[in-house]
Chains A and B, each alone.
Chain A
Amino acid sequence: MAVVKADNRGLRLASRYAVLILVAIIFIFPLLFMVMSSLKPSSQLLLDTKSLRAFLPVGELSLQNYTDAFVRAPIAVFVLNSVLITGVTVLLCLFVCSLAAFAFVFVDWSGKAVIFSILLATLIIPYETIFIPLLLMVSQLPWVGLEGFELGWLNTYRVQIAPFIADALSIFLFVQFFKDLPKELIEASRVEGASWWTIYRRVVMPLSGPVIATAAILKFLFMYNQYLWPLMVVQEEAIRPVMVGLGYFTDQLNVPWGEVMAYLTVITVPVLAFYLSLQRVFISSVASTGVKG
């Protein structure tokens, strides 16, 4: 009887792993295709798409596409710009949105339910619909910098960062997470005479790792994939991000697919690195969200 039980368990385990491996293969195929294709000449790459060879390191392999891609476009500049813009926006977003959520959850003030509802309603407005008025606004905004007073934010890093620091989705995520924190912790801290700032910094945020990771990853992906906004507000090559840079490879009728794949491989590295660094916290956040009653 015990033998049968053990067999059943082994079978279940094997089938579970088989499904997981299948799902993993499905998810890894695009990445595998991208990396393998980046090592092949364009003509071979296109021919290989008709078979499984597309996913295998076969044929004439070299790093020539990478060399050509770096000659065609200032890839390092684009990647650094995107990492800088994305990094700063994510940090500021986490700070501002968590503070806003803290105020919504723990601080009593009149009208917060109405304002929170209005905030949530903005989730249904796509950014693209406000880009034109936003463009007109930022083109007239004043700025005082090292070079003195100037009018207009176009062609700067700040115009790519400031409009995206606060967003309703991140605030919502923090609010949902903060609501589930034990109220006793906050009340005890207040009784001990802690200020709201101290409670935010010393009590709430140290407990909020999962939601910080989730909000950071979502914001990172949104910012790293920005295309239309930087296209509208940035004219200088020196401050262009990676997605606009992709246009350097896709404008011709005869697209250099090998170089496109090399470029995509290079610009995917920061995304993977960021995700992998926060993977454990992200998964625990998703898991804990899933079991919440």
Chain B
Amino acid sequence: MKHLRNATALAVIACAGTAQAQTELSLWYHGAGSANAEEALVNQVVDEFNASQSDWTVVLETFPQLAYNDAVGAAALAGELPDILDVDGPVMPNWAWAEYMQPLGIDEAKLDGFLPGAIGRWNGEVYSVGLWDAAVAMMARKSVLEENGIRIPTLEEPWTREEFDGALQTLKDTGNFEYPLDLGMAWTGEWYPYAFSPFLQSFGGDIVDRDGYQTAEGALNGDAAIEFGEWWQGLFENDMAPGTSQDAADRETGFVEGKYALSWNGNWAALPVVEKFGDDALFLPAPDFGNGPVIGGASWQFGVSATSEHPDGARQFIEFAIQPKYLSAFSDGTGLIPSTADAATDTKNYNEGGALEVFYELSENQAKLRPVTPGYIVQAKVFEKALADIANGADVVDTLDAAVDEINEDIENNQGYGHN
């Protein structure tokens, strides 16, 4: 009995010794309350990483998404950043530039096969990597298009501008819908640059000139951008789509209720459409307005904070998290697109013949990153306001010129945002 007690005591001491040897790594995540499956999966990855080795213990702290960026900014000011943080793809360059983050230092061979939107690069270095991406498609019903003699576009042959405008007019003339197109104007914030700047890019413009990212002149107010702006305004003037006063309820349920013939929406909203329409549901590629069809890319990714004293441990965790089994599990749990084709084959929705397979192809073929610049967080807000103003009838040229001035002033105030 005495031996047993001694052995037990030794075991306890040994365990305590092991526990003490483990170094704590803090991890901040934006998904508090977002989707319970997502939070459970992050917890699962953390638990399994902690159990898989004896050097590190990751401690998770979750934040509401709405508050997350502000919380990180405040923590950076106070010198209290965690070791590992997650970051929205288009925001990453800003955090890298502001020295909230350090290069990931990951062996890039481990990122072979990842969707371009799942890897965050700044100044030639990888700063972050994501377990998933998201994609937007033109949701439609096969029966509606066929009844009205509208060609069903493919990835190889998307609608041209003329075809798309013609389809909208045809659908409007049926009188069967409140509007032929739902763009999701009820959603504000990042939705505008994420969902609508690809239209501008397909016209040949952009939010900022990507050659050095030092000006928006010509990109956001050039001929292509003005042509886009006039087309955009025409959608609302001609009652092709509900404007900024769209009811949030209509955005959420309007397409499945038959109020709209087409809906520009993301893969996260696709399953209810499949449930409602079954084989009749179509997820179509973005129209080609002259410079190729484009959709937005990049979602939330993991990176290492600049102040982490244990970047090797943080990197180990991120490498652990991007295993195919977790990419598949996140996709199954959240409906998002797994970052690699291998992982996609093991998912419920993105495998061959899966209900959402087309979104993987859209992401792979059409996704374009939003401007990879620290100034993006300002440029996104300027772009959002400009598009809302134009939709509400503001003069296209004046509005775009004003947006360019605002963006250029911000770039100048920040000494060019450190682009090499």
Interface residues of B in 64-117 (CB under 8 A from A): 64-67, 70-71, 74-75, 77-80
Q: Which residues of A contact B247 (CB under 8 A)?
A: 46
DSSP class of B's interface residues: helix, strand, loop or mixed? Answer: helix
Q: Is the CB of B67 within 8 A of A247?
A: yes
Task: Please choose the segment from B29-37, B217-225, B372-380 that sits at the chain A interface, where 4 or more of its residues have CB less than 8 A away.
Answer: B29-37
Q: Is the CB of A139 within 8 A of B79?
A: yes
Pick from B36, B62, B78, B248: contact of A154, CB below 8 A.
B78
Any B CB within 8 A of the CB of A250 = yes
Q: Is the CB of A231 within 8 A of B253?
A: no
Q: Is the CB of B33 within 8 A of A251?
A: yes
Residue of B nearest to A249 (CB): B33
Any B CB within 8 A of the CB of A248 = yes
Given A47-B249, A231-B74, decide whether A248 and B33 contact each other with a Cβ distance below 8 A: yes
Q: Which residues of B contact A233 (CB under 8 A)?
A: 74, 78
Q: Which residues of A contact B74 (CB under 8 A)?
A: 135, 231-233
Complex CA gap A49/B62 in Å reads: 33
Given A46-B249, A47-B249, A235-B28, decide whether A72 and B70 contact each other with a Cβ distance below 8 A: no
Q: Is the CB of A235 within 8 A of B191?
A: no
Q: Is the CB of A251 within 8 A of B65?
A: yes
Complex CA gap A255/B36 in Å reads: 14
Q: Which residues of B contact A235 (CB under 8 A)?
A: 28, 61, 63, 71, 75, 80
Find the residue from A46, A228, A251 having the highest chain B CB count within 10 A: A251
Q: Is the CB of A247 within 8 A of B33?
A: yes
Any A CB within 8 A of the CB of B268 = yes
Complex CA gap A139/B74 in Å reads: 10
Q: Which residues of A contact B66 (CB under 8 A)?
A: 247, 250-251
Residue of B nearest to A71 (CB): B36
Question: Which range holds the interface residue count of chain A?
Answer: 20 to 34
Q: Is the CB of A237 within 8 A of B78?
A: no
Any A CB within 8 A of the CB of B21 = no
Any A CB within 8 A of the CB of B10 = no
Q: Which residues of B contact A139 (CB under 8 A)?
A: 77-80
Q: List 19 A-B contacts (CB under 8 A).
A: A43-B249, A46-B253, A71-B36, A73-B33, A135-B78, A136-B77, A139-B79, A139-B80, A232-B70, A235-B28, A235-B71, A237-B61, A247-B63, A248-B32, A249-B33, A250-B66, A253-B191, A254-B252, A255-B248
In order of increasing CB-CB distance, the 7 nearest A-B pairs are A247-B64, A248-B33, A46-B249, A251-B65, A139-B78, A232-B74, A247-B66
